[in-house]
Every structure is written in C-alpha cells, then in structure tokens.
Structure 1
C-alpha cells in the first residue's frame, strides 16, 4: 500500500530543507504530530532515530534509512506484521520554489488490513504534513 501527496511551496530549496530536517519542530506546523523526540544528537542523518506520537496512535520509533542532503530522507518503522516507510522528497522548481512530495508505504502481512482500518486517517495525516511543510517553508523563506 502506497500513499503519495505533493505540494508546491513558494520558498527556495534551502528554506524547505531547513524546515523538513528539523523534525522536532514538526508538531508546531502540523496537527498530524503530537510530539517528535530525537533519540540521538546532532543534525538529522542516516541512522538517526526519533520517537513520534501522532493523535490516536501509540508512539512509534522511526529510523532514517535513506538520506540525501537538501533532497530527501526516508525513515522506517517496523511493527508486528507491517513495515512502514515515510519518504520526504524536495526538488527545486523552475520558478525558484520547491516541490514537496511525501509518501507512506506499508508492506507485510498486515499492511492490507491496516490500510482498511487506518487508510483514510493516514491520507489525512500525509496531507496535513504536506500543507504544513509548505506553509512553514514559505514563512521561513
């Protein structure tokens, strides 16, 4: 199961990346996150871990599994019966803005059932995050 959403921010790539990379600040600009607690120090990087609490969900630990500075990062959570990957991609547009693309992919024997139960909420959270990232990037840049 894969969910994808995009938004175009009227902010440059550096501004969007600064907002995206500061994951502990996400609850300030998206209602889809209650808390984001880094479990390591320093800037976000490959191997970084964070405990995320979202409304209506138990806290989950995510680990950064792909990372390209000022371009993208993915983080992964492993729960019984499902592996979830959240991808965050940004690309400069021809007009000096930034295209934001967020993806959520779930695989494993329980992925289909979880999509039936929580797919609508997951889509709403993804859209809230894209809209919040767009607004926060524009405010910064």
Structure 2
C-alpha cells in the first residue's frame, strides 16, 4: 500500500530541507513522534540509522537507502513480513516549496498491515507534513 501527502510551504526549499532532513529533532515539532534516537552521528547519509517511537506503533529502526542532498531522502524499516519505505521530498514548484511524504508498505503482510493501519497512517502522514509546514513558516520570512 502507498500513502502520500504534500503541502505547499511558504519558506525556501533550503529551510524546509533543513528541518525535514534533521530527523533527530522531529520529536520537537511533530506530534506523531514520541522519541527519536539517531544511531549514527552527523547529518543523514546512506546507511544512517534512526530509532523512532510513535504513539500506537511499534518502535522502528529506519535506515537511509537513498539520498539526494537538499531534495530527497528515503529510508526503510523492516518487521516480520513487512518492509516499510518512507520518502521525504522537497521541491520547488512554480516558485513555491512543496514538501511530500510517502509511505509504502510491502511484503507478505504489507498489504494487510497497510489496510489495518490506513486511517492512522493517513492521519500521521498529513499531520507530519502540516507540522513541517507550520514550523518552517514560523521560522522563515514570508
């Protein structure tokens, strides 16, 4: 199953990327995150791992599998029978900044888990992007 959510943000792409890619600070601005523990130091990079605790979800360790600095990063968490991929994109569209979050669940149990958790997943992904919008716009000249 695939879930996507995008928002136009009144801040520079650089500012939005700075916040979106600083995963260690997500718990400070996203109500869907209880805690974040970076398992590696420094900015994210391919292979970097992060443990995230979220309400109503099992603790997950995410590993960065793709990175285009300033534009996109993707990470993967695995559980019994499911692979979850999270995508985080910042792009400039017609002079505006658009942030998009994507969540894809695959594997023998991916579809089942996706269906069972669809409502919560949609709520979380929208709340995360809207919270990103709020923090980026509050910290950036309009």
Do the structures match in fold with TM over 0.5?
yes
| CA shift for structure 1 position 139 | 2.0
Report the TM-score, using the length of structure 1 for normalisation: 0.95
Give the Cα–Cα distance (whole angstroms) in 1 for the partners of residues 55 and 135 of structure 2: 20
Q: Which runs of 5+ in 1 are unaligned?
A: none
Shift of 1:140: 2.4
| Superposition deviation, residue 30 in structure 1 | 1.2
* Segments ≥4 residues shifted beyond 4 Å: none
Quote the offset at 1:112 in angstroms. 1.7
Correspondences of 1:1-141 after superposition (within 5 Å)? 1-95=1-95, 97-141=96-140
CA RMSD between the two structures: 1.0
Structure 2: tracts of 5 or more residues without a match: none
Deviations 1:56-83 (A, max 9, x none): 1221100000001110000101111010
Query: Under a length normalisation based on structure 2, what TM-score does the superposition of the two structures give?
Result: 0.95
Count of aligned residue pairs for this structure pair? 140
Distance 2:15 2:91 in 1: 12
Q: Post-superposition shift, 1:42?
A: 1.0
Distance apart, 1:21 and its partner CA:
1.4
Matched residue of 2:20: which SS? helix
Q: 1:116, CA displacement in angstroms?
A: 2.2
Higher mean alpha-carbon deviation, 111-120 vs 82-91, is at 111-120
